Amino acid sequence: MSGITNINNTNFTDISSKTTDRLIYNHPVLNTQAKSPMTLQRQEIKDRLDAAPHSKTIVDLDEIIEKWVWKMWELSKRSREDSKYRREELDIKLNWKRVNFWQSEAVFTRPNQLHMPKSQILFRTNFSNNTESEQEYSLRAERSTITTLNFTFMRGFTKEKEGCVTLKLPNEVLEVSGGLRHEQRVDYGRDSTFETQMTWSADSAIRVAPHSKANAELCITEEEYSADFSVEVRFSGRISAMISTRNNTGGYYKYMEGDLATIFAESLRTGGTGASPGQFEVHEQTQSVRTVMTGKCAFRYGIEQHVNVDQEKLPTLPSSSSSSIKTTEPPPKYRPLFISHNAH
């Protein structure tokens, strides 16, 4: 741990719950030290990403703690009451309330922004003007699209109880896409996809020439963004566990607690974490565990809308005079009907 540098005067965000904040106050060791977790420099994070394996390494924190609980339980079997139960008959309930989590700002590297080559048509209509003068028509339309944000963790950790990292979206995405929340909350180590609805509307006046037809389309241009992301997380405090018989039958209870950094240090020495080399570091001075969560993100969102209008002449309809049937045959001969006035 001698390779850890000074961690004073760094900007970290406390992402603990209100309950945890209250418990910090009850532990002056954590509260009086004016120390914050060390922030990795952008170049250091990039170097780690380049050197990191491409396979997923997601560590289950609950599993690490449970292994420690069972080990302590085996070592502490002193009474007949402890020995009469098998592990399969017992349950463990972990309490994370006195463990505190901090995080750095997310860093996005190797970004790739791509405009979709083809616009998406949301609405199409046409206006026909059969009159001798120009006509004006109103185009009013409202349609929705889905913005998709996908986060995939390649290296990190999970835990059963709620907990998440807050990822502030890159400026290059926020500048071109409206309606997106600046920050996205993603559960620790869990691949997540978020979908939000974006509404597009048009209210335009379209003038159509005499005997013409106007075709109008409401279109949007979409963009795809992909990058690697990383965020440093540090946690410290005391974890407690309660061992009891399944479904609370039998009335057997055993309580134990321990310092999280000490548990992790022991687990790292014995190789019981399942983590890749260097994934977790224990800082002995502040009794905290430090790790960098890495992953990949892929976004798709609309960036602009436009109304396309093109006009064409309506086909000419034949007039009534030209539609009369002409023939070369002579007209029929009719015999006049005379009524004689001399008839008696």
Segment 194-240, tens digit of pLDDT: 999 999 999 999 999 999 999 999 999 999 999 999 999 999 999 99
Give the helix/strand (H/E) hosting 49.
Answer: helix 42-51
Higher pLDDT, 6 or 85: 85
**Average pLDDT, stretch 7-33?**
33
The CA distance from 167 to 180, in Å, is: 13
**Average pLDDT, stretch 149-163?**
92
Q: Give residue 39's pLDDT.
A: 42
Packed helices 260-270 and 61-75: angle between N→C axes, nearest 10 degrees? 90
Give the helix/strand (H/E) hosting 267.
Answer: helix 260-270
The CA distance from 85 to 82, in Å, is: 6
The CA distance from 77 to 255, in Å, is: 13
Would you say residue 264 has pLDDT above 80? Answer: yes
171 φ, ψ to 5°? -60, -35
What percent of the chain stands above pLDDT 70?
A: 73
Higher pLDDT, 82 or 86: 86
Q: Give residue 47's pLDDT.
A: 55
Would you say residue 24 has pLDDT above 50? Answer: no
Residue pLDDT, tens place only, 88-142: 888 899 999 999 999 999 999 999 999 888 889 999 999 999 999 999 999 999 9
- DSSP letter at 64 equals H
Q: Give residue 274's pLDDT.
A: 85
133 φ, ψ to 5°? -130, 160
Would you say residue 29 has pLDDT above 50? Answer: no
Would you say 282 and 265 are in contact if contact means Cβ atoms under 8 Å apart? yes
SS (H, E, C) 96-138: CCCEEEEECCCEEEEEEEEECCCCEEEEEEEEEECCCCCEEEE
Q: Give residue 317's pLDDT.
A: 64
Would you say residue 305 has pLDDT above 70? Answer: yes
86 φ, ψ to 5°? -90, 160
Q: Give residue 166's pLDDT.
A: 95
The CA distance from 233 to 223, in Å, is: 31
Alpha-carbon dihedral angle through residues 84, 88, 89, 95, given to the nearest 10 degrees: 110
Q: Give residue 60's pLDDT.
A: 94
Least confident of 107-116, 142-151, 247-256, 299-308: 247-256
Structure tokens at 137: 């028509």
Least confident of 95-99, 108-112, 261-265, 320-324: 320-324
Would you say 44 and 262 are in contact if contact means Cβ atoms under 8 Å apart? no
Q: Give residue 285's pLDDT.
A: 87
Q: Give residue 88's pLDDT.
A: 81
**Average predicted confidence (pLDDT) for the chain:** 79
Q: Give residue 50's pLDDT.
A: 53
The CA distance from 151 to 190, in Å, is: 8
Q: Give residue 216's pLDDT.
A: 94
The CA distance from 230 to 27, in Å, is: 30
Would you say 200 and 305 are in contact if contact means Cβ atoms under 8 Å apart? yes
Half-sphere exposure of 208 (CA within 13 A, CB side): 26
